[in-house]
Amino acid sequence: MSPTRVFLADDQSLVRGGFRMLIEAEDDLAVVGEASDGAQAVRALSSAPADVVLMDIRMPVMDGVEATHRLVHSGNPTKVLVLTTFDLDEYVFAALKAGASGFLLKDARPEELLSAIRDVAAGDAVMSPSVTRRLLEHVVPTLPSAPGDRAPDPRLGLLTEREREVLVEIARGATNGEIARTLYMAEGTVKTHIGRLLAKLECRDRVGLVLFAFETRLVEL
């Protein structure tokens, strides 16, 4: 099986070098390119997509948020894993809204980084329950103060009761296994429901489902 292709986008060469050494020590991962700013990353990935890009949030010329937006909305298949120094970086929410598949702190342990790359490449989101909650506590106050402030999202009407239950558990940060135990269903059934949620709600991944649940007030902090 071909190794997962990883692209590095960070304005600090030492950081890129450290990531490269760590990643290339793994048989199933390979670094296929680097960029020191978002614009370089977009250009490089437009001609040669990777499986995952480690995207620093704060870079010169074009930051990680805009680069993520351009990649995702151009239809580029590369999945974005955002890297940030602070877990409540004001740009993180914007990057997730732009289509990033998750975010990770730069001081994460090596095994956490490698696991995150593999998870994102496999189509999973990388946001631990505790980090999800801290992020949402930071951004939910900026949302409309009451459901009456705007019309309900019509996509909510497309969901079955069971799909709503699964969506609520996802928004609370539960894993597929935890959802299966809580709702008394097989893990394969959970995955089926998640696939239907992604299609009905037009979300790119699990991160999108979390944001949708909170933005529509299906779940409150």
Same domain, 126 and 163: no
CA distances (Å), 111 to each of 13, 151, 169, 218, in order?
Answer: 21, 44, 26, 34
What pLDDT is attached to residue 183? 94
- pLDDT value at 137 more than 80: no
Burial 11-32 (b: 16+ CB within 10 A, else e): beeeebeebeebbeeeeebebb
Within-domain flag for 221: no
The CATH number assigned to the domain holding 36 equals: 3.40.50.2300
What pLDDT is attached to residue 142? 56
**Band of pLDDT at residue 175, cut at 50, 70 and 90:** confident
Average pLDDT, the chain: 83
Within-domain flag for 16: yes
Same domain, 174 and 125: no
Q: How many CB atoms lie within 10 A of CB 107?
A: 7
Domain of 202, in residue numbers = 148-216
- pLDDT value at 45 more than 80: yes
Within-domain flag for 142: no
Same domain, 162 and 126: no
**Band of pLDDT at residue 154, cut at 50, 70 and 90:** confident
H-only helix segments in 57-186:
64-73, 90-98, 110-121, 129-139, 161-171, 176-183
Same domain, 101 and 195: no
Same domain, 100 and 120: yes
- pLDDT value at 152 more than 90: no
The CATH number assigned to the domain holding 168 equals: 1.10.10.10
Same domain, 92 and 162: no
**Band of pLDDT at residue 144, cut at 50, 70 and 90:** low
What's the number of domains the chain is made of?
Answer: 2
What pLDDT is attached to residue 170? 85
Give me 19's structure tokens: 């990531």
Within-domain flag for 211: yes
- Rounded average pLDDT over 172-186: 86
How far the first Cα of the chain sits from its last, in Å, is 42
- pLDDT value at 88 more than 60: no
Same domain, 184 and 118: no
Same domain, 55 and 133: yes
Burial of residue 89 (number of CB atoms within 10 Å: 0-12, 13-18, 19+): buried
Q: Which of 106, 137, 168 is the last residue of a domain?
A: 137
The residue among 16 and 124 whose pLDDT is bigger is: 16
Same domain, 48 and 115: yes
Q: Which of 76, 106, 137 is the last residue of a domain?
A: 137
The pTM score is 0.71
**Band of pLDDT at residue 132, cut at 50, 70 and 90:** low
Same domain, 18 and 111: yes
Residues 19-39 pLDDT 10s: 999 999 999 999 999 999 999
